[in-house]
């Protein structure tokens, strides 16, 4: 199953992109970057990538998250990630992307981080 993206808000000023499926070497990973770019262009300043539905990630998926973080930062937005567990979370730790992108256990904790 390719990665799917569902956009929602948890607060009037916090956008969540819920990702589900496999983040592998396919064009679908570009959808993540495009979704983040669209949110930033629309004025979003707080974005959460909810990875709780992601079952597998490879290097292209890791790259999509890193590039999305950079685009958000360049657009004066904060991007954080939540819900990366098991093998998915381990990949982000091994590649050290967790030192670039703040990771939180769930969407609630990620949303609370914007207030600190």
As a whole number of Å, the end-to-end CA separation of the chain is: 36
Question: For position 27, what pLDDT does the model report?
Answer: 60
Quote the pTM value: 0.94
pLDDT band for position 30 (cuts 50, 70, 90) = confident
DSSP H or E run through 7: strand 4-11
Question: For position 3, what pLDDT does the model report?
Answer: 87
């Amino acid at each position: 199953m390719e990665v799917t993206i569902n956009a929602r808000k948890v607060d009037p000023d916090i956008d969540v992109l819920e990702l589900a499926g496999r983040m592998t070497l396919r064009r679908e990973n570009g959808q993540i970057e495009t979704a983040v770019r669209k949110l930033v262009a629309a004025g979003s300043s707080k974005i959460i990538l909810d990875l709780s539905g992601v079952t597998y990630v490879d290097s292209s998926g890791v790259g999509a998250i890193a590039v999305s973080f950079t685009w958000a930062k360049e657009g004066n937005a904060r991007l954080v990630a939540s819900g990366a567990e098991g093998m998915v979370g381990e990949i982000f730790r091994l590649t050290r992307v967790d030192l670039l992108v703040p990771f939180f256990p769930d969407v609630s904790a990620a949303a609370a981080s914007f207030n600190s």
